[in-house]
Structure 1
């Protein structure tokens, strides 16, 4: 019976140390979340679906369960403890560690609760729920997915329009190149055509010059006759 009791005692001590290590790590994270879990400056649409407030509340529940479990193990250790001063000192030490953890947990929880109450007062006691308050997490994820899908569809439409415009411009460019090639072929095939066009333009310029001289002489003669 003594051997069984000793084995149970050592097993409980091992469980207590593991719980204490786990609680210690989680308390550090709990304290950090308590210092940065404010979302009062964000609009309801800007608050992420999983924010520091949610993580803080989840971790708070986990820590409360671990502390309760550690307290129960300490009580069992006291019931199964072998007699002796060293054993009593060990039990006392585990209870002191548990008390320190409980105090740290309570202090962080109280600080966050006080901050939440202060933020609620600063918001003017507005009791109306945010637009997304009636939505479950699943509904909010669905809403975000629909927004993303709509954005993707809009982007795809703009890309298609840009590609169609690019294809149209490319087609026009190819048409102009074909026309230019055709004109060059005609010019190379009929070299006399350029010469004919040049003579026609030269004759037009000469006729314009003659008409201009005739008009100038007539105007001069009319002015001369008018002054005489």
Structure 2
């Protein structure tokens, strides 16, 4: 009876070890793939340029693969933890002997493997999340900068357009002023021509008046010359007096 019970317990232990080794192998393969995904994820983000919309589908696929693989590894680690707990319960039911010492050594080795896998998984996951958060933040900053540049460029175009409109308006005003001035000068020219024609007609009609006007003009010129000579003589005399 005791021998049969011992055989059942031994078979149970072997089943637990097989489950542990199988889960460890599956977890190890998943962790290798997960680590490669982290490397490819970083490389993909570095090759993607800000504002480039073409790799959005690949980015979405990478994020989906990351979430899926992380969930699968967490499930494997949880199952492996349960198996380790069952193995621990098994060893506690045994007495203190050489066999239990060997089992405890085996259990400790499985626990160390579980701890290493958990540490590696958490480290890789944290690195990917940190890198993704940093890239998302940088992407948001780049998008804000691009939006600001586009807005500034549009404002510049609007200001330039307004400047051109004001320049056109000023040119139109200057042209209008020039045309008005031209018309005014033309009117003055016509008025002066009319006055000149009337004066000529008046002089032709009254020759005596024309001659009298000419004599008056000649007398004015003569008086001006005499006054100029007198003033010049006075200035010369004053200069001579001042020099002596």
TM-score, with length taken from structure 2: 0.48
Q: Identify the residue that residue 137 of structure 2 maps to in structure 1.
A: 121
Aligned length: 128
SS of residue paired to 1:51: helix
Q: 1:125 Cα deviation (Å)?
A: 5.8
What is the CA distance between 1:127 and its match in structure 2?
10
Equivalent residue number for residue 66 of structure 1: 76
1:77 to 87, 91, 94: 87
The aligned residue for residue 10 of structure 1 is 14
Alpha-carbon RMSD: 2.3
1:60-95 Cα deviation digits (max 9, x unpaired): 110000000000000001111344210110010000
- Write the deviation string for residues 114-167 of structure 1: whole angstroms up to 9, x where unpaired: 101111221236999xxxxxxxxxxxxxxxxxxxxxxxxxxxxxxxxxxxxxxx
The CA distance in 2 between the partners of 1:17 and 1:96, in whole Å, is 13
Aligned pair partner of 2:104 in 88, 91, 101: 88
Match of 1:108 among 124, 138, 160: 124
Q: 1:10 to 1:46 in 2, by over 3 A?
A: same
Matched, 1:53 2:63: yes
Which one has a larger percent helix, Structure 1 or Structure 2? 2
CA distance in 1, matches of 2:39, 2:33: 10
Partner secondary structure for residue 48 of structure 1: helix
Structure 1: runs of 5 or more not aligned: 129-228
**Alpha-carbon offset, residue 45 of structure 1:** 4.4
Map 1:1-228 → 2, pairs under 5 A: 1-38=5-42, 40=45, 41=48, 43-48=52-57, 51-81=61-91, 82-83=94-95, 84-124=100-140
Distance 1:127 1:45 in 2: 15
Unaligned runs of 5+ in 2: 145-244
Deviation at 1:55? 1.4
Distance 1:77 1:126 in 2: 53
Aligned equivalents of 1:120, 1:110: Cα separation in 2: 15
Q: Measure the CA separation in 1 of the matches of 2:74 and 2:63.
A: 17
CA gap 1:48/1:2 in 2 versus in 1, 3 angstroms:
same
Runs of 4+ in 1 over 6 A off after TM superposition: none
Larger-Rg structure: 2
C-alpha distance in 2 between matches for 1:58 and 1:44: 24
Cα distance change of structure 1 residues 66 and 127 upon mapping to structure 2, 3 Å threshold = farther
Q: Distance in 1 between matches of 2:75 and 2:85?
A: 16
1:44 to partner: Cα distance? 4.1
